[in-house]
Structure 1
Amino acid sequence: MKMNPLGRTGIEVSELCLGTMTFGTQTPEAEAHAQIAMALAAGVNFVDTAEMYPVNPVSAETIGNSERIIGSWNAKTGRRGDYILATKHSGEGMKHARDGAPISSKTIAAAVEGSLKRLQTDYIDLYQFHWPNRGSYMFRQNWTYDPSSQNREEVLANMEDCLEALQREVERGTIRAFGLSNESAWGTAQWLRIAGERGWPRVATIQNEYSLLCRMYDTDLAELSVNEDVGLMAFSPLGTGLLTGKYQDGAVPEGSRKSINPELGGRHSPRVYEAVAAYLEIARRHGLDPVHMALAWCRTRPFMASAIFGATRLPQLEHLLKSVEAELSQEVLDEINAAHRAHPMPY
């Protein structure tokens, strides 16, 4: 398992990161604990969660349970020091957390304390803001995105307010590093500028959706990542399971994400299955497992810190972990680029 730098923090993380958003819904506690153990045994040293997890669905009854399950594993095993732990503060509008209040100095300390208590730990390695208060073009909102209603002065003042609060958490020893999620190039640049001017926590990572099917990161954010040492933590590198091929020809496996969320969060469209078919054909022609190809391709990207994968069951996890053995030839990479040009932005 290759290790990559977590921004300029001096922390190193594995090229694969165990995602936990199904812990507490599709994945019961005992299975989740076994997943953590299996991932660590395979060389993964990075686990990502969020205060609002689990999802599918997000509900008032289950919110926080993913963190609680990780916390019970920490308490049971005493292995908290064996891995890098990342969690997230929900953005504005998350009604099950603080009645949807925006991220600010008024919410950060209590949110950190809540996560620490559920995770049964004294510190969080990477504390992330789940989405910007001002809104985001992620989650298929890019088709109608309009930033013209933003108030620049208010946005920047909120960033200063949040970073100052984060600095207090760093001084208390509760967080080691700071990351963003579902952010833009402009937003990330402002967080970096303010942090640099004030000596407050510097952005180490951006957790955005990225896969063969979703490559919005490839331009402005890629340039920012490389020049500012802000690594991408790619979520949904398998396109919510689409790139496995399991949903082709109308199939909906029992217990799958699509059986719970038929639209796959807006990713279900006629065009996406045509794109998936093109990638499946590349994998078939070169004798590659499509799951391994999709994850191995993420590893080739120059801005990648870690690709976050999730599995509902142990056999799926075991299969995913073997992706580190896959290497892609230049011919495969060229064919992937050709398929991307033929099937751009399928959702």
Structure 2
Amino acid sequence: MKDDLAIIALESYRDQGDKINSILCKWRGAENYMIPCSCPRFNSGEAKGIISESIRDKDLYIMVDVCNNSIRYKMDGEMNRMSPDDHYQDLKRIIAACNGKAKRLTVIMPFLYESRQHRRTTRESLDCAIMLKEMEFLGVDTIVTFDAHDPRMANVLPLKGIENVSPALQFTQGFLTEYEDIIIDKDHLMFIAPDEGATERVVFLASVYGVNIGMFYKRRDYSNIVDGTNPIIAHDFCGGDLHGVDAVVVDDMIASGGSIIDVCKQIKERGARRVFIFSTFGLFSSGFDKLDKAYEEGLFDRIFTTNLVHQKPELLEKEYYYSINMNRYVAAIIDTLNKNEPMHGLVKPEKRIKEIIESYKAGN
């Protein structure tokens, strides 16, 4: 059977893409699946997408990290930092450069572009929905994302594939490898949602682990808007006794960190033994001063985030940080889709997580 797999990694995902390509080549005994691409810019800031090899009749996978703010380009003689909007435009340019010649087109976008603007509460845009419709118009067959801020966005494209993958397996592996004294039962471990939007993630993990859940409700000031959102007045906790319990706070992203710190503070005040944070995307968009101070004050013990988005170099040096490597999982997703095999075991890996937990309880 002819191997029709091809990969394009935009500059924002180039390093990770090369590693994923190497993993796939090793698994499948191939030399290379990577198709070179570039998005050179004119002095005005305009750009174009270029691919350097034919992708005709290929099963093509395009990877992009819209959160990578480390890349700069020159415009009018000055250096500009690339925003999510810039990365998304480059993605469309590369898709357009393919000129409809690929047999099948899959976009791997770990952080779903504009996923925080997923619903309309007043006269405002629906950016994530518009993006998904544009992907459909451009001929994208499948979008692979991770831990979407609101999984209901899949309803925008009822006839197209959106694979919303949970990284719960990798968090479990990292957590139980790093800590050998976790007691997995309802009296010693609890998963906690920092807000009502994170409840589904927490329910999934708690169900697999066989423990209880807790949830914080964010009370907001809806009469004001600060930095694009309604400011949080307080976090109200709904859940059982936390005294002596190891608490795991689960969310899809850490932006400024202020909200998650307030949640950790309340958990510690309620007598929790240790506090761990699972967050798929560590954006840390306001620096690390707040988190450094919170760690020094003992408000949390460890932060786990994935390498699905750009990791700031200073983050990797933090004593309290643990990086979850997702490269092999992304490679497995590409391999599975290319072979037209079922995705359920990768999207929601309940069985594998339970196997790891049983092995951990058995002392292995």
What TM-score do you get using the length of structure 1 for normalisation? 0.36
Which structure has the larger Rg over C-alpha atoms?
A: 2
More strand by share: 2
Answer 1 or 2: which has greater helix percent.
1
